Amino acid sequence: MGVSQRLKNRFRKFLQRPGTTVNLGPLSERLGPIEAREEALKELDDAALTDAARETADFTEICAVGREAARRTIGQRPYDVQLLGAMALLSGRVAEMATGEGKTLTATIAAYGHTRLGNGPVHVLTVNDYLARRDAEWMEPVYNLLGLSVGWVTEASTQEERREAYAADVTYVSVSEAGFDYLRDQLVTDVADRVQRELATAIVDEADSILIDEARVPMVLAGSVAVESDPVHEAADLVKSLRKGKDYEVAEDGRSVAFTEAGLKNIEEQLGGIDLYADDQVEHLSAVNVALHAHALLRRDVDYIVRNGTVELIDEMRGRVAQRRRWPDGLQAAVEAKEGLSATAEGEVLNTITVQAYIALYETVCGMTATAVHVGEQLREYFKLEVAVVPSNAPNIREDDPDRIYSAHDTRDEALVEEIKIAHDKGRPVLIGTLDVQASERLAEQLKAVGVPCQVLNAKNDAEEASIIAEAGAVGAVTVSTQMAGRGVDIRLGGSDEKDRERVVELGGLYVIGAGRHDSRRVDDQLRGRAGRQGDPGASVFFVSLEDELVSRHAGDILPGSPRMDMDGVVHDSQVDYAVEHAQRVAEGVNHEIHRNTWRYSVVIEQQRLLLAERRERLLTSEVAAIMLLEKSPEKAKETDEDVLSDSARAIALYHLDKLWADHLAYLSEVREGVHLRALGKLDPLDEFHRSAVPAFQELLIQVEARTIEAFEEVDLSDGWQPERSEIVRPNATWTYLVHDNPFGSELDRLIAAVGRRLTSGG
Ligand SMILES: Nc1ncnc2c1ncn2[C@@H]1O[C@H](COP(=O)(O)OP(=O)(O)OP(=O)(O)O)[C@@H](O)[C@H]1O
């Protein structure tokens, strides 16, 4: 039986797998013809191969040529499953491929293919700068032999470097840098200042993470304006002296906190005897509520760390510092105040777009990840993307043990340390995934106490994390990592050079232990996937405590009072197993609901953005503004020199369009918060939002014209067009950031909750 036949048999099994929505059968039929081309392509010299690469526009030939180019340049002949993945990407799917299957090379063949199919330029969107650069540099020889240029962008790239990178056929860039570049390009007043070309094809790496988990994250471009004093910052001092249980109560789920009557009175007195619920005290009420949240619910070293005098957020999903992320402004300031730091400049928001809306701007989207099936439905709902499950190259022989569940943290931690020590004493490499930085550090201490040295990979040393994780498979290595730190880096058995591979194989391969289940099964699966790559031996297990936040928050009420345990304190109780699974499902459901809600609100904004972008493009690249002025302000327009009219009309119209859009975005976010108040009056908040957003946008379009005419009539054009003499002052400095999820809902949600509590308690 030939290789292709064996693979076909395995594919057949795969095609029956539930959740597989795309039939890979027809694509796998091409593997034979691809292989049949191999010998002939090997005969070609490099120049002839490049010529061949430039000629084809057919899946079979694209894969055959791509395979030969990879073999020749980086010495890796793409496996059949990689070609199958590449074809899935070429047909606009999300390919699910296990960790270590070689998605980087798969994406390269797909990127090449997309350019051949006329879908270029191609952006490969990564989760971080490190991977953008690494993958572009690694794959460059392959691209070059295929006759393509490749570029990469990181946060440190200059304008010129960015423009050059985007001019390449294929560009590797983190999704946030790409989004920021888009936002900046939307504000240029000269076409030549743009860095990106059209958004044609996006190949999304770690697709579930970017398309689902990060989807609702707004990317923000702000311009410098003076920092105003922030009442929230002042409120931080007020809440410092409050005590839990007396002045405030934290809800069991740890996600909300409310003042007690005594606490409120205390605050009201400190504020000089005001009534916080009086109509004119809304700002104070909201400020002290936010301050209380920062004080009582956000934990240093779990939710954020303080480094170099600033608050840096820890990304819940990845457990590492989220670069340049902020909470919504009030909350960020409250946490800064809590830590005694001065508030960072806030600036005026010039433009913002969510990751999801940015991705939607591409003509063609496809992606790859190890964990797509679980979010298959959402990928279809939000991006019309289907998942294609690509079988692994070698069968997965990793042993996934059932969870070990303990009733309390103490017993769990003891057992966990013991388990690590036993494996370590034999020399078996162990990778432990913890839920947060604090847990990592606590575990490291506990391991040290029993004489087990370990490497801690967390938010605080992310610069080195790639090289540390690369060695996590070495003999005796113990690596403690917060969730997905170091993602995308290969863990080879026996160390990165595979020096002691045989010994580690004998020991059973990499042992992955989760110190608690994550909020999503996908993240658990990603952790497990660290072991058992390419048919390597390996094992995984999760050590769960019933005191873990996930379990107590979402399944506290269905846990049996006294679960059955064995002598070692391990719980053996089907009801408990069920509760743990249930807790994770609930957490996933909550996240999905939040995502859907944000999305429903953003649909109308995104339609408006597209309309506005079209209008802006016309202003920027044609004479529509001048023509409009000739009609609406004929006297002055006619007596103005043609070039001066063209320049001034364009600049003035663009300025007002951008300014009005920024104001519109601010207005919409106010409306969005405000509509929740109206929700109390039983109106549908989404309808209400539309009722405000639609006319406001129509008004904006009218205003752009009106203000342009007005400004044109006022400006002195006697010495030509001199922007500095006009009212047009564009921000001289801009910066970008991501808005982190507000973990507690919007400020107004909380306010309503607080008001609601007060009403229901008869206050
Ligand atoms: N066809 C091939 N032949 C030999 N080695 C390969 C081949 N394809 C990929 N590799 C190697 O496999 C390793 C994993 O590749 P890669 O990092 O692209 O995997 P991945 O699927 O992206 O994994 P992750 O999910 O961790 O990001 C790399 O070291 C790469 O060099």
Q: Across the chain, how many H-helices and E-strands are there?
A: 29, 22
When pLDDT is averaged across residues 317-341 and rounded to a whole number, the result is 67
Flag whether pLDDT at 92 surpasses 60. yes
For 395-409, write each residue's pLDDT tens digit: 889 999 999 999 899
**94 Cα–ligand 1 center, Å:** 18
Tell which atom from ligand 1 comes closest to the C-alpha of 79.
1
Q: Which residues of the chain does CATH 3.40.50.300 include?
A: 3-223+355-389, 399-588
pLDDT for position 676: 58
Q: Does any ligand 1 atom lie closer than 6 A to the CB of residue 77? A: yes
When pLDDT is averaged across residues 654-664 and rounded to a whole number, the result is 91
353 or 283, which is more confident: 353
For 353-370, write each residue's pLDDT tens digit: 989 999 999 999 999 999
**457 Cα–ligand 1 center, Å:** 22
At residue 214 the predicted structure's pLDDT band, cuts being 50, 70 and 90, is confident
When pLDDT is averaged across residues 539-562 and rounded to a whole number, the result is 89
Q: Which residue lies with its CA nearest to atom 18 of ligand 1? A: 102
As a whole-number percent, the residues of the chain with pLDDT over 90 amount to 49
**97 Cα–ligand 1 center, Å:** 11
- Residue that has been written with the tokens 């904006």 in this structure: 700
**148 Cα–ligand 1 center, Å:** 21
Give me 102's structure tokens: 């070689």
398 or 669, which is more confident: 398
Q: Does any ligand 1 atom lie closer than 6 A to the CB of residue 63? A: no
Q: Does any ligand 1 atom lie closer than 6 A to the CB of residue 101? A: yes
Pairing type for strands 510-514 and 170-174 reads unpaired
Q: Which residue lies with its CA nearest to atom 28 of ligand 1? A: 102
Give me 152's structure tokens: 């990469």
When pLDDT is averaged across residues 493-499 and rounded to a whole number, the result is 94
Homologous superfamily (CATH) for 231-346: SecA, preprotein cross-linking domain (3.90.1440.10)
**100 Cα–ligand 1 center, Å:** 5
Q: Does any ligand 1 atom lie closer than 6 A to the CB of residue 102? A: yes
356 or 298, which is more confident: 356
For residues 105, 106, 108, 113, the Cα torsion angle rounded to the nearest 10 degrees is 150
Q: Does any ligand 1 atom lie closer than 6 A to the CB of residue 390? A: no
Amino acid at 112: Y
Q: How far is CA 418 from CA 123, 298, 423, in A?
A: 46, 31, 9
pLDDT for position 762: 36
- Residue that has been written with the tokens 């200059």 in this structure: 158
For 624-645, write each residue's pLDDT tens digit: 999 999 999 999 888 889 999 9
Ligand 1 pocket test target in 63, 74, 76, 492 with most atoms within 8 Å of CB? 76
Q: Which residues are annotated as a binding site?
A: 82, 100-104, 490
pLDDT for position 313: 74
Q: What is the CATH number of domain 399-588?
A: 3.40.50.300
Beta strands in 546-626 (DSSP E): none
**126 Cα–ligand 1 center, Å:** 15
pLDDT for position 230: 58
Flag whether pLDDT at 524 surpasses 80. yes
Flag whether pLDDT at 748 surpasses 50. no
Q: What is the CATH number of domain 622-731?
A: 1.10.3060
pLDDT for position 311: 78
Which of 35-39, 194-198, 724-728 is least confident?
724-728
What is the Cα–Cα distance from 747 to 289, expressed in whole angstroms? 8
Pairing type for strands 430-434 and 404-406 reads unpaired
Q: Which residues of the chain does CATH 1.10.3060 include?
A: 622-731
Q: Which residues are annotated as a binding site for ATP?
A: 82, 100-104, 490
For 9-53, write each residue's pLDDT tens digit: 555 544 444 444 677 888 889 999 999 999 999 999 999 999 999
Flag whether pLDDT at 310 surpasses 80. no
Q: Are 740 and 327 in contact (CB under 8 A)?
A: yes
For 268-281, write each residue's pLDDT tens digit: 888 878 887 777 77
114 or 322, which is more confident: 114
Q: Does any ligand 1 atom lie closer than 6 A to the CB of residue 105? A: yes
At residue 758 the predicted structure's pLDDT band, cuts being 50, 70 and 90, is very low
Max CA distance (Å), the chain: 96
**443 Cα–ligand 1 center, Å:** 31
At residue 349 the predicted structure's pLDDT band, cuts being 50, 70 and 90, is confident
At residue 285 the predicted structure's pLDDT band, cuts being 50, 70 and 90, is confident
Flag whether pLDDT at 225 surpasses 50. no
When pLDDT is averaged across residues 471-478 and rounded to a whole number, the result is 95
Give 401's contacts (C-beta < 8 A, 6+ positions apart). 539, 540, 541
Flag whether pLDDT at 223 surpasses 80. no
At residue 750 the predicted structure's pLDDT band, cuts being 50, 70 and 90, is very low
Instruction: For 309-344, give one letter per residue: b (16+ CB within 10 A) or e.
Output: eebbbbbbbbbbbbbbbbbbbbbbbbbbbbeeeebb
When pLDDT is averaged across residues 157-180 and rounded to a whole number, the result is 95
**533 Cα–ligand 1 center, Å:** 9
What is the Cα–Cα distance from 233 to 606, expressed in whole angstroms? 33
Q: Does any ligand 1 atom lie closer than 6 A to the CB of residue 368? A: no
Q: Does any ligand 1 atom lie closer than 6 A to the CB of residue 490? A: yes
**82 Cα–ligand 1 center, Å:** 10
At residue 323 the predicted structure's pLDDT band, cuts being 50, 70 and 90, is low
For 227-252, write each residue's pLDDT tens digit: 445 566 678 778 887 888 888 888 77
pLDDT for position 754: 43
Instruction: For 261-281, give one letter per residue: b (16+ CB within 10 A) or e.
Output: eebbebbbebbeeeebeeeeb
When pLDDT is averaged across residues 46-70 and rounded to a whole number, the result is 95
pLDDT for position 749: 42
Q: Are 560 and 529 in contact (CB under 8 A)?
A: no
Q: Does any ligand 1 atom lie closer than 6 A to the CB of residue 81? A: no
Q: Considering the chain, what is the average pLDDT of its residues?
A: 85
At residue 303 the predicted structure's pLDDT band, cuts being 50, 70 and 90, is confident
Ligand 1 pocket test target in 105, 209, 368 with most atoms within 8 Å of CB? 105
Distance in Å from the first CA to the final CA of the chain: 79
Q: Which residue lies with its CA nearest to atom 26 of ligand 1? A: 488
pLDDT for position 473: 95
Fold annotation for 3-223+355-389? Rossmann fold (3.40.50)
What is the Cα–Cα distance from 756 to 289, expressed in whole angstroms? 14
Q: Which residues of the chain does CATH 3.90.1440.10 include?
A: 231-346
Q: Which residue lies with its CA nearest to atom 8 of ligand 1? A: 102
Amino acid at 357: A
For 123-163, write each residue's pLDDT tens digit: 999 988 889 999 999 999 999 999 999 999 998 899 999 99
Flag whether pLDDT at 108 surpasses 90. yes
Q: Are 105 and 76 in contact (CB under 8 A)?
A: yes
Q: Are 672 and 749 in contact (CB under 8 A)?
A: no
Q: Does any ligand 1 atom lie closer than 6 A to the CB of residue 496? A: no
Flag whether pLDDT at 718 surpasses 50. yes
For 690-716, write each residue's pLDDT tens digit: 888 999 999 999 999 999 999 999 888
As a whole-number percent, the residues of the chain with pLDDT over 70 amount to 84
pLDDT for position 329: 57
